[in-house]
Structure formats: C-alpha cells, structure tokens
Amino acid sequence: MSRPLAVYSDIVGTDPAPGVAALEAAGWEVRVAGSENPATIAAVAPDAQALLIGYSPVGVEMLDALPALRIVATQSVGTDMVDLAACAARGISVSNVPASATEEVAVHALAMALSLVRGLPQFDRSTRAGEWNPGAADALARPSALTVGVLGLGRIGRRFAGLAAPIFGEVVGYDPADFAVPGLERLGLEAVLRRADVLSLHLPLLPETSRLLDAQRLALLPAGARIVNVARGALIDKAALLDALDSGRLAGAALDVLEVEPPDPGDALLRHPRVLASPHVAFLSPQSEIDYVVHQAENVIAVGSSGSPLSPVFAPAAA
C-alpha cells in the first residue's frame, strides 16, 4: 500500500525537519517544494494529500493543481492567505497552529507597548546620534495612569491582557465573538477606542476587520494614544495612521506587521520618528520554531488517522 503524500510549499525561516520526522514516523511520504508556485508544487507532488504552507497563498489555482488534497495546514494562527471558501467547496480541511507562540507574541506586544510609553525608540536614536537629550521623546507616561485596550481576546489577546494588568491602570477589551473573559472588562469597539491610551491589536485579518482602524476610528482614541500591532498589518489603514502620527494625535505606533512584507525600504512608516518596527518576529523563539512545525505536522497526521485536524479552521465533518 502506498503511503499518503505531504508536500511543503514555502519555508519561512523555520526548519521543517521536526515536522518531516513526525510525518514520516506516522507513515507519510514527505517532499519539500520550497516554492509558492502551484505548478512547481504540483510537479514535485502531484498526488499530495496534504499541503503544508508558511505564507504562500492558497487559492483556486493551487487547489486545482493538487486534486487529491485533503488538508491545507498553515504554520501560523492567521489563515488569511488561504481561500477558505474554495477549500470548503472542495471538502478540504484547513488547520492552523493557535497555541504555538502565545507567550512570545504577547510578551513582544507588551515590550513594544512599554517601549512606546517610556519613549525608548526616540531615546535610543537620540543617544546613539551623540545627543544627551531628556526631551528626545514627545511625552513619557506612568503606566499605572494609563488604560490599555485589547482588540481581540483569543489566546494571545487574553495572555497580553493578563501580562498588562499588573503594570497598567486598567485593561479593557473588545472581541466580536460573545464569550466571557474572567477579570477583564469587555466593551464595544468604539468604547474601547475612546478609553485606550495604549491599544494592542490581536484580531485575525478577515473581510470585516480589514482596515478596521480607519481615520474615523483612529480619531476616537485619546490624544497621545499609542498603538501596538502584532497581528496583521492590514488591520490599520496606513494613510490614516501616518496622518495621525504626523499630526501628533498619536504619540507612537509599534508595528511587528505591515500590509506589504517585506516593505519597500523607503516606506514612510519605517522612516517615521514615532514608529517602532520589527520584522514580523513576535512569534519567534527556539521553542516556538519547533512547536510551529510539529503542531502543523500533527494536524496533517490527525487528518490521516481520524479525518479531522487537531486545530481545524474548517473541517468537512464539522461543516
């Protein structure tokens, strides 16, 4: 009997070896295409039953090129690169890895928030430039006098809120889904925006959340507010964010994600003195790199053994 076939598309800075080992131990044949191109992937593994991706887009062209496909397994929490409707129409499961880097991303967001509140990016640049200027940052704040707003109360948002609560004066949160979060005051979206001196984004990118923070909603934030985004760049309208930073209405923005990655070196956000940026690394640690690839592989293995992934975003049996 032939073994089921799994193929990796793009490799995004992680070593697939632990995932490959887990798949092979479970009886899968594994091939690595190392490409986002559907034709290339189909040439490497035309009969693949599992497609394991980093950030490569999976649309109709990819699905048509792999007619035996049973699962698309992402190596991320977000699945905005996958055409979920097209997968559902074909009965193809889609899985993510929601718990592989909860601590890393939440801590990165907190570090960014505190860096903005204490003016560290401006002080670092000023001091390295040979200045000794206590006024290099526009405004400093006492964290216990500030309110933190959390948009998105999944695993990472809740962990961030828990980390922030002992440091900041209060933490309030919003999530479009209706579920209880013990110890956290839940409000509507606009109410959170009106109270958030520091706003941290932890929402998935969906049609309804794309450019959620437009000029109108950014204007609801208190003057001098700060924004942290470790989720998806397209949650914020870039032009509106630049306007708010240029005017000084926002004291700062800390961005681990951008709408276009990698960005143009001349990107106005990267050059802005009120912006702290990192290259989409909030999720990284030696432990998370292993967890991502192993959990991704375990979703594939579960489809082979039970018909459904361990962490389904969509599974035919649950449709």
Strand order in the sheet with 275-277: 185-186, 170-174, 147-151, 198-201, 225-229, 250-255, 275-277
Task: Look at residue 29 in the predicted model and tell me its pLDDT.
Answer: 97
224-240 average pLDDT score: 98
- The single residue of 195, 274, 280, 295 carrying the catalytic annotation is 280
Q: Is-catalytic flag, 280?
A: yes
Task: Look at residue 179 in the predicted model and tell me its pLDDT.
Answer: 85
- The single residue of 232, 289, 295, 298 carrying the catalytic annotation is 232
Q: How confident is the model at residue 220 (pLDDT cuts 50, 70, 90)?
A: very high
| Pairwise CA distance, residues 9 & 17, whole Å | 14
Query: How high is the mean pLDDT of the chain?
Result: 94
Say which DSSP state 91 is in. T
- The single residue of 185, 190, 261, 271 carrying the catalytic annotation is 261
pLDDT of 238 higher than 50: yes
pLDDT digits (tens, 9 = 90+) for 178-216: 888 888 999 999 999 999 999 999 999 999 999 999 999
Angle at CA of residue 107, ends 197 and 183, nearest 5°: 60
